[in-house]
Amino acid sequence: MRQSPDQVLTAAQMRDAEQALIADGISVDELMQRAGSGAAEWVWRMSGGRAVTVLCGPGNNGGDGYVIAEAIRERGGTVAVIAASESKTEASRTARGLYQGKVLTRDAAPQGEVLVDCLFGTGLTRPLEVDDHALLNRLAASHPRRVAIDLPSGVHADNGLMLNASLPDWHLTLALGAWKPAHFLLPAVPTMGELRLVPIGVADLPEAGRLIGRPQLLSPAADDHKYKRGLLGVVAGAMPGAALLAARAAQGAGAGYVKLLGAGEGAPPDLVVDREPLAEVLTDSRFAALLVGPGLGRDAVARERLAVALSEPIPAVVDADGLVLLSPRNLAEREVPVIATPHEGELFALERAFGFEGSGSKVERAEALARMSGIVVVAKGADTVVAAPDGRVAFALRASSWLSTAGTGDVLAGAIASRLANGADAFAAACEGVWLHGEAARHTPAPFTAGQLAEQVARAYAACL
């Protein structure tokens, strides 16, 4: 089966994937050697010949640590191993037996430069014991460089929760076999430093989550014209500046024709503004997608404009004020896709509007809302998650923290709507727009405004050609 570097597996899916490898004749010991040897390559690079301390726990994550330590020792590196406790799995005991160096007790204080955390990995669901927590923090404080293997100890693999207070920060986290949701979720992800994947041969699972990567976008075909590339209508409202921001971003994200529907004072000359009544404008069958919500307002007029927009059989993105006003009634007769782009407060409003109390992790909430409402949900923020009604889920890499400024959500909505108008299906359009948004931020000199960000969306698109 094909292996994917982009799949994101829950702890249960990772166990099943490893069991599938074992059923195919690969031993647990061999899997541990693959993981540990691959991780040792990264640790070796980081250490640059400086002393390494490996903290090993009782399970297979600890076994990975013994493999890492032996690989460094064989290369002539200086390595100390601290065993937090006795090995409790057969594979871990085997790996410890193969390590040819000395194993120190937990009260040791080696003078290393790089700490490798192999205390606990993906399977941890409860807080670290007090003595383990103290040991981890003591060693982290005495080592200027720190590497976490698979996940930092004390982090829940499926939801990114920190199971203990005051856990260390890490400079590098090495995911073993596949990414886990926690590698992309708050509150854990800011503590993980750089992320790298160590493959071990895990097969591609169709039901797995995905990491949002660089999309493969195309230049226009020789016979394309503006309508073939997609006509996008951006519905303006009480605060037209937000719709203008979204439209500017949309112009750089692939749609051939972006039209502002409503008030457009201050619109640039290359943006068409149509001030005719919305119901009349939308009789044009050439519209490929609509964006409604940025700057819409929340009064009766805004509610009517939302209802009119969603009454038409045109794929739509709903953002900002539109999310606060959206109700199941707006979607009752729709047979074409809707993408919603809520931040945390808007996600709560949507959950309430659709009649259920959101609970669980961000991923679980986005999945539940998508399933119950039939819309593609982009639960945006510092840890953006995209969920589709059919169960697909995708995770965004960390983007620039400078995105935490007013108007950047409008830019995101414009990029997603542009991809939708350009012909991508709703889930793909959402993922492509999220990637373009993050890439545009990478190209925008900090600190930046939303307007400056919107101008870089075209550069992000060019990076995909």
- What is d(CA 115, CA 382) in angstroms, rounded to the nearest whole number? 28
Lookup: tokens for 384: 């953006």
- The number of CA neighbours under 13 Å toward the Cβ of 344 is 7
Distances (CA, A) of 60 to 13, 20, 88, 139: 17, 17, 8, 21
Residue 356, pLDDT score: 85
162 secondary structure, DSSP code: B
Helix (H) or strand (E) holding 310: helix 300-311
**Residue that has been written with the tokens 């226009």 in this structure:** 220
pLDDT at site 393: 98
pLDDT per residue as tens digits for the range 40-76? 999 999 999 999 999 999 999 999 999 999 999 999 9
User: What residue segments make up the domains of the chain, in order of their start?
Assistant: 7-211, 231-462
Q: End-to-end CA distance of the chain, in Å?
A: 29
Amino acid (one-letter) located at 241: G
With 0-12 CB in 10 A as exposed, 13-18 as middle and 19+ as buried, what is 51? middle
- Which residue in 291, 283, 270 sits closest to 415, CA to CA? 291
Cβ distance 293 to 320 under 8 Å? yes
pLDDT value for 282? 97
Q: Does residue 98 carry a pLDDT above 60?
A: yes
Task: Give the model's pLDDT for residue 2.
Answer: 52
Q: Could you give the CA distance from residue 45 to residue 224 in angstroms, rounded to a whole number?
A: 49
Distance CA 258, CA 248 (A): 9
Mean pLDDT, rounded, for 234-242: 95
pLDDT digit string (tens) for 136-147?
999 999 999 999
Distance CA 359, CA 338 (A): 23
Q: Can you tell me the distance from the alpha carbon of 355 to that of 32, in angstroms, rounded to the nearest whole number? A: 47
Q: Confidence class of residue 150 from pLDDT cuts 50, 70 and 90?
A: very high
- Among 74, 93, 88, 81, CA closest to 118: 81
Over the chain, what is the mean pLDDT?
96
CB-based burial, 85-102: b 16+ in 10 Å, e otherwise = eebebebbbbbbeebeee
Q: What is the pLDDT of residue 265?
A: 80
* Beta pairing partners, 47: none
Question: Whose CA is closest to 62, among 98, 36, 100?
Answer: 36
The label of the residue with tokens 């990414």 reads 179
* DSSP state at residue 389: T
Classify residue 240 by burial, with Cβ atoms within 10 Å: 0-12, 13-18, 19+.
Answer: buried
The dihedral formed by the CA atoms of 297, 299, 300 and 305, expressed in degrees to the nearest 10: 10
Secondary structure (DSSP) of 280-297? HHTT-TTEEEEEE-TT--
Pairwise CA distance, residues 17 & 22, whole Å: 9
Q: List phi, psi (to 5°) of 129.
A: -60, 155
| Closest-CA residue to 181 (of 308, 12, 431) | 12
pLDDT given for residue 357 in this prediction:
81
pLDDT for res 264? 75
Q: From CA 346, how far away is CA 351, in angstroms rounded?
A: 9
List, in sequence order, every residue forming a beta bridge with 176; answer none if it has no partner.
198
Q: Which two tokens stand for residue 175?
A: 């995911």
State which fold the 7-211 domain adopts. Rossmann fold (3.40.50)
Mean pLDDT across the stretch 436-453?
A: 98
Q: What pLDDT, on the 0 to 100 scale, is given for residue 263?
A: 83
Tokens of 270: 């290359």
Q: How crowded is residue 408: how many other Cβ atoms within 10 Å of its Cβ?
A: 24
Average pLDDT over residues 375-403: 97
Structural tokens at position 223: 């016979």
Q: Determine the average pLDDT of the residues in 206-214.
A: 96
CATH architecture observed for domain 231-462: 3-Layer(aba) Sandwich (3.40)
Percent of the chain with pLDDT over 90: 95
Q: Count Cα neighbours of 429 within 13 Å in the Cβ-side half-sphere.
A: 34
d(CA 257, CA 226): 5
Helices vs strands, H then E, count in the chain: 16, 18
pLDDT confidence of residue 359: 85
- Quick: pLDDT tens for 327-365: 999 999 899 999 999 999 999 999 999 998 888 999 999
Q: Which residue has the tokens 């070796």?
A: 44
Is the pLDDT at 3 greater than 70, yes or no? Answer: no
Percent of the chain clearing pLDDT 70 (strictly above): 99
Residue 25, SS3 per DSSP: coil
Mean pLDDT of 154-174: 97
Taken in order 378, 380, 383, 384, is the CA torsion positive or negative? positive
pLDDT beyond 90 at 419:
yes
